[in-house]
Copies of this chain bind each other. A is one copy, B any other.
């Protein structure tokens, strides 16, 4: 509504209606400690009657809790809206946060300038914690979260400088190296001998780990560089990478594309160049999201449970938040039970599993 229809009800109005002091209302609104139950009830009645909503700029200063969590995806929204990976991970996050009555605030990163603005918002007490994913090697977000003292859980193994120093960042990932090994071993079992790889951007650990798995499965110390091309985790990137690979290694008979979207792009190029799949070239993808099933032919791929990874990230963050008292330090709950300390929480690595379809 462009203009409010009247002033917002104040703490004073609630105090007057309930016949108590401002301080009492404030105590009730912030948990009711030290206020007798009948008085609490009277205040809650007045709050309800007036439709009073505590100003949480003030409330945040007292409780240091906002009930909200930022989800920062270090990609522009155009990428986020065209890659089903993000929608699926968000679904898991969103369901888990909703179950804990915690508000999800989604933010994208398009330009360098966006980082400063996001850093300011995150540092400013508007959220209790953050989930961050799709970070690149030199990403300033972890340092920002660190400076702001903001409890944060990452999607994907941290690859930034200092990430291996204590306290180690909390994260959820899939076993990318093992997934890649399964993909390449499967191609070897299918009798393929010239196996190329289409990688994601190598400033992301998921892309690096999958490339390492490819190398390990081939069992050669240094893979033939003519068999490696970067497809940037997009369909059009996969299309172009496949074209470069066919030019540099026309005798290739297998391709491991490190995402289903890139595999789909590769299939388009193979079709355009008259190569039959899987007869001439066998193709394996990664993710097992919608594009794998839609592909023509349907894709053999490495399944990671993306929605579950989102759920696990949210769960880890919620446990981290439980473990902090209102003053930001770990401690005991109202029932005297010891809350989990950050140091007791650990990164979670989920399994990757090969799904065989018609493309191999």
Name A residues whose Cβ lies closer than 8 Å to a Cβ of B: 1-5, 7-8, 51, 53-61, 66-68, 70, 77-78, 80-82, 84, 86-87, 90-91, 94-95, 98, 101-108, 110-111, 113-114, 117-121, 123-126, 142, 145-153, 167-170, 320, 342-343, 345
Whether B81 pairs with A110 at a CB distance below 8 angstroms is no
Please measure, in the bound complex, the distance between the C-alpha atom of A45 and the C-alpha atom of B349, giving whole angstroms.
44
Task: Give chain A's interface secondary structure class.
Answer: mixed
**Taking the nearest CB of chain B, how far is it from the CB of A221, in angstroms?**
36
- Nearest B residue (CB) for A53: B123
A124 interface neighbour in B59, B142, B151, Cβ under 8 Å: B59
Whether A77 pairs with B101 at a CB distance below 8 angstroms is no
Measured between beta carbons, the chain B residues less than 8 angstroms from A80 are 87
Whether A147 pairs with B113 at a CB distance below 8 angstroms is no
* Known contacts A8-B148, A107-B106, A108-B94, A124 near B56 by CB under 8 Å: yes
Greatest chain B CB density within 10 A among A53, A90, A114, A345 is at A53
Measured between beta carbons, the chain B residues less than 8 angstroms from A150 are 1, 4
**Taking the nearest CB of chain B, how far is it from the CB of A103, in angstroms?**
5
**Taking the nearest CB of chain B, how far is it from the CB of A130, in angstroms?**
10
Measured between beta carbons, the chain B residues less than 8 angstroms from A7 are 149
Measured between beta carbons, the chain B residues less than 8 angstroms from A151 are 2
Whether A167 pairs with B1 at a CB distance below 8 angstroms is yes
Whether A67 pairs with B106 at a CB distance below 8 angstroms is no
Whether A126 pairs with B123 at a CB distance below 8 angstroms is no
Whether B126 pairs with A68 at a CB distance below 8 angstroms is yes
Whether A67 pairs with B103 at a CB distance below 8 angstroms is no
- Nearest B residue (CB) for A117: B103
Question: Could you list 14 examples of A-B contacts with CB < 8 Å?
Answer: A1-B142, A3-B343, A4-B146, A4-B149, A8-B123, A53-B119, A57-B58, A80-B87, A98-B114, A103-B107, A105-B105, A105-B121, A106-B107, A126-B126
Please measure, in the bound complex, the distance between the C-alpha atom of A315 and the C-alpha atom of B101, giving whole angstroms.
32
Measured between beta carbons, the chain B residues less than 8 angstroms from A168 are 2
* Known contacts A53-B147, A104-B108, A105-B105, A81 near B77 by CB under 8 Å: no
Please measure, in the bound complex, the distance between the C-alpha atom of A184 and the C-alpha atom of B95, giving whole angstroms.
41
Whether B342 pairs with A3 at a CB distance below 8 angstroms is yes
**Taking the nearest CB of chain B, how far is it from the CB of A152, in angstroms?**
6
Whether B4 pairs with A117 at a CB distance below 8 angstroms is no
Please measure, in the bound complex, the distance between the C-alpha atom of A84 and the C-alpha atom of B98, giving whole angstroms.
24
Whether B124 pairs with A53 at a CB distance below 8 angstroms is yes
Please measure, in the bound complex, the distance between the C-alpha atom of A87 and the C-alpha atom of B106, giving whole angstroms.
13
Measured between beta carbons, the chain B residues less than 8 angstroms from A123 are 8, 53, 56
Whether A124 pairs with B55 at a CB distance below 8 angstroms is yes
A66 interface neighbour in B4, B8, B126, Cβ under 8 Å: B126
**Taking the nearest CB of chain B, how far is it from the CB of A113, in angstroms?**
7
Greatest chain B CB density within 10 A among A113, A120, A152 is at A120
Greatest chain B CB density within 10 A among A86, A111, A125 is at A125
